Amino acid sequence: MSIELNPAAVQFAKRLIEEGKLKNDEGHWGQHNPKPNAENQFLNQHEIAEYGQWHLGLDMSKGEDTKGRYHFPYGDFETVHRDGLLAAKERAAQQGYSDIEKAANQLLQELEEKAAK
């Protein structure tokens, strides 16, 4: 499995941060990460491409219309979460996806700067 950076997700997250749609939370991502039923509900109301914008990684070996294609979530389908970006950064580093790790780190810095204003 080779996961690539999802540039559309990075741009989407940047826009959300600029718009102030963020949570500078310090909890554990497991508390905020959407559960499978929330993901399915989102997909019932939105296109898979919109779902993909909430994930920093793409598994190109999976079909475009499958949830399995998308990895490294960072938000709850409404806001970007600080702890989501931290989790994505840490997991990407552990798994050797340096481009995803760098993107998550950059987004994290942007979120923290915006939250400090």
pLDDT, tens digit (0-9, with 9 covering 90-100), for 92-108: 999 999 999 999 999 99
The pLDDT tens digits for 17-73 are 999 999 887 777 777 778 888 998 999 999 999 999 999 999 999 998 999 999 999
Q: Which pLDDT does position 28 carry in this prediction?
A: 75
- Cβ contacts of residue 102 below 8 Å, gap of 6+? none
The pairing of beta strand 3-5 with beta strand 55-59: antiparallel
Percent of the chain with pLDDT over 90: 78
Q: Is the pTM of this model over 0.75?
A: yes
CA–CA gap between residue 113 and residue 24 (Å, rounded): 10
Residue 117 CB neighbours (<10 A): 5
CA–CA gap between residue 73 and residue 95 (Å, rounded): 15
pLDDT at 1 over 70: no
